[in-house]
Structure 1
Amino acid sequence: MVSYGLEEKTALMTSLTDKLASTENSLIESTGRLDRIKEAFHRSEARYHSLEEMERNLEGYQEGVKSILLSKGGDTSPLAGIHGIVADFLDIITPAPNIPNRDNIEGELQAEKVIEAVLGERLQNIVVEGQEDTKKAIEFLKSNCAGRTTFIPKRPRPEKYRIEGKALQQLSNISGVIGPAMTFIEFREGYEALAEYFFSDVVIVDKLETALNLLKETNSSYTFVTIDGEVVESSGRITGGISNGKSPGLIQKRRELRALKNELLRLEREVSGTEGEVERAKNEKVLLQVQIENINKQIHEETIRIVNIDKDIEALIDDEKRIQLRIETLCLEERGIDSEISNLSSELNIYNEEIQRLLAEQAEGEQEIQGLIESQKLGRERWEEAQRGITTRKLELATRKEKRESLSVRLKELGERIESATTLTTDKEESLSKIDQKIDGYLREKSGIESTITDLWQKKDAISKEIVAKENERAGREERQRLSEEELKEKRRVMEDIKKEINQFEIQKAEIRLETGHLKETIYTTYQINLEEEIKNLNLKDLNIDELTSSLTALKERLNRMGPVNLASIEEYQELNQRYEFLTSQESDLTQACETLHKTISKINMTTREMFLNTFNIINEKFQYLFQLFFQGGESKLVLTDENNVLDSGIEIFAQPPGKKVSQLALLSGGEKALTAISLIFATFLARPTPFCVLDEIDAPLDEVNTERFINSVKDMTGFSQFIIITHNKRTMEA
């Protein structure tokens, strides 16, 4: 039975070991895949947030366009008729439609690049409902010195020749012609007239040579654009080359933004699914390790049992030796008894002979006494002497009879002892036979168990070597991952430096713009000269700066020599009038600035409230998830004390560990408070990660199990943040 049990355990151990190795391989593969997916997710997320921030701040937009869009307001706003920019209503058809003569086309068609080449800055033309809206917008730009831009009505007048019918068929048959641009785009419903206006006469071709040949041969009013972005207009004007800017165009950025959003959703699903696989693999690994540990315990118990069997065998051998010694003693005692019986038998025979002799002497004595009595001639002395002899003979006879009876009793006792010794010897021999059989069985069982244990130890050594190899491989992979993360962090740091420089340049740009506006206003106030109109009327190429400078100096000297005009009253009136106009203008500007400031504050408060609520909801969701992860259940949440006044509201933390009814944080134990605080801190990191974080003895109140959960959570977040942990916890330092 024991050998059969060990065979079953050996087979089960082999099966569990193979399954554990398979599970560990699956876990390593899933973990690696999860790390790669998370890395891709973080890259895409960073790119998405960057593009989203640029789009939200209208980076890359013209100054006038940015001013109009930021001040658009609601339906009651003076700019309510502003619909947006042309790019807001334009979509590229994907996948691209069937292109005839595709095999003869050199290069790859990038529709966004082609459309951006055709429209250029017209992508930022502002679409309005009508001319009145255009007037209001231009007046707004003038009054606020907010720049210039171009406006286009929602339904512009058609002024171009549409490519259709026979002309379309003829163009499609020409080698190198990809097709009309209208087949690659679509405008939102209600804005189709914009598509007709911009693209009705645009034809996409493969290269510049084809466009030039078509312009020469067809003598048409078409505009040709190549897949490399060169534009050939019917007037003969050609636009081409390479832009020095490395940032993508407006359409490409928006398409990339949509693609990144879909990619993030897909990666989130993959992360969720892969995390489930990793968790299942971890649970299965733990279960298998527990089962293997149980098998090892059973093997250990079998080993202890073998040791106990060895002890039983040694005890039985000692019993056998003692029994054998007892048998030998009994045999010696038996031989002594036999010798004594032989001696006693000889002595008994002697006594019997003596008794017979005495009986004969007694008979003779009695005959002699009878003869003496009959003869009555004997004397008294002889009679007494004879009587004494008879008495002596009778005493000797009685003594010999007692000795004979004593020998008979002793002989009987010896016989009983011999019989008892014989029975005991037989029983001991039977016991020894059974013990020998049992020892043989134990020895056979011990041999089988030792063989099985040897096989199991060999397999265990092989598994241990494989585990060490896997651990080394994992360590190498983690080292490579760490180097990649360091490189990524360095690139992020460089990107942050670049962003800071860009922001600094933007600030300098704004300061220069303000200073320029102030100088323009000062010149206009002092000399009644509009610099922008003067600059337009000037031919800057023909100007000589040195001559102008010397002329300005001479004029200033003449003015100084002339001195004040005698008409002091007129001059004072003009100065006071100018001062009055200036103060009136300043008052109007201040009033308008206050209104703008109030609007800006309202908009900032609204944006801040939205951003706060979004961040609060994300942190609340992450906090609930991490709380249940650390406590293995329970409930928790963050609650605003004043939901109607979000920006000035306080935040209350409610936490209910599993098995407790308390919800106030003050009623929790020290360890539970620490876990709750860690959950909230990590939730904040998950909502908006920082480059690095310093944790000072945050794990001090935690027990071993919660310390392990804390370490695992820190490891999960090292993909996007670097942690510096100050701790006295041995387990944390080992990790």
Structure 2
Amino acid sequence: MTGGSVSRSAGVLSRAAELKELHGKADAIHRRLSDAKTEAEELERELEKAKYELETAQSQQRAAEDEVLRLDGRKNHFDILIQSLKTNLENLEGEYGALSGRLADNAKRAETAAADIAEKEAEAAALRAKADEQLSGQTELLARSSELTEAVSQRKSQLAALRAERESTARRVEDLRSLKTDLSGDRSARENLLESCRQAIAEAAGEIERRQGEIQTLRARQQELRDRLTALDQEKIALEAERTAKSRAGQEMNEHLLDLERTASKLEQKIATSALEEKQILDRLWEHYELSHSDAQAQRVELESRPKANRRIGELKRDIAALGTPNIGAIEEFDRVNTRYTYLSGQRDDVEKAKGEIVGVIQNLTKEMTAIFAEQFKLLSDSFQATFVDLFGGGQATLELEDENDILNCGIEIKAQPPGKTLKTISLLSGGEKAFVAIALYFAILKVHPTPFCVMDEIEAALDDANVTRYARYMRTLAGKTQFIVITHRRGTMEEADVLYGVTMQEQGVSKILTINLNDISKELKIK
């Protein structure tokens, strides 16, 4: 009944202590690894910061270089503009000199032509006078005179051409003078622009020098940041190598820890299996022999031979099985079943007696209901005949039972014969006739069994105006015993009412009730 191994238990305890020690080492390694990760993260943040500063310096350097290029471009543009202005000015001065020479030459030519014209005109006048004197027979003089006249005409045409050329030259000179004036003003403006361009160039040169100094400073800063970045990269590589080594060591420790945990789990499983086997043995001891562990220890007997004991146990089990299964509680079970049988028999007799009484009551109620229904059906049939005649103004109508031997379960057939028509069942009548027959039946029921009040919802909607008037007047005859509340849109019904209630909606979503007491209005108007 005993078992186990002391050395195995001691091994579990030593393994537990070793596991605890390994957990402590693993925690220390994890803390160191966490510190290394934190330090690596800080170095990475510093590296990112240095990279950001380097990118900022590079962007500033690129901006300064772009500004220098822009200023160089402006300087070249201003130089080209100044050179172009100088060339235009030189060309205009040369053209002005040429025009001035041509103007002087034209003036001299005009004076010479005028002198020649005056001389020729004087000579022509003298020749005319002389010709007049020697007109007779002086053919030679006439020819000379005509030649002189032609010469004068040519000189006049030349003079007119020179005058025209002189006027155009004068206009050209005026244009050149105005152009010279404009060029003089434009030259001063351009000289001012040139001066401002030179100042801008000087400022650009200073700005270029300043930017170049900043570029040199930024380059030095860039080199410094690159050196720092290189150092940080090397430090990062060293930290990553250290982190890799620590991660590898931690992974080895975790694998060792997992092996120990698996070993401990196997040992715990063996302990649980042993406990389960012990419990099963104790359960079998109780089930077969009804002995606890302590009782079995008290009755323990040393066995001479285990096979002999097993054979004896088998013989005893066969003897017990041959006896069968004894029912120890058979007497108590018989008393219980007998008591239950007696109680249920009494209940059955009571139920059968109650059933007979209920059947008798049902038969009495059925006879009484049959008599009452036959009596009331006769009254209702007579009332329906009279009401039908009053409403239709003649004709006949009957209520017939489909099975007079089973009046409580059979159906009722309505037959009606309006005035001037043949007798038909209600299903063969028109829609208005069906509605009027139903109204007559309902009024017949009210005449036999009046009610305090009655609500009717547009039951005369299918009737024509003449039948509506009959329906309303007949309802007036029943108003002495029953108060009618009628919902209608028919004028004939409204005319027989005492009080009218109308519902209107003058505003969207707001209902309003209007009330008219026709009796009061009749008294005021003295209408009978």
Q: Indicate the TM-score class for this superposition, using the shorter chain for normalisation.
A: 0.3 to 0.5
Larger radius of gyration: 2
TM-score for the superposition, normalised by structure 2: 0.41
TM-score for the superposition, normalised by structure 1: 0.31
Select the structure that is richer in helix.
2
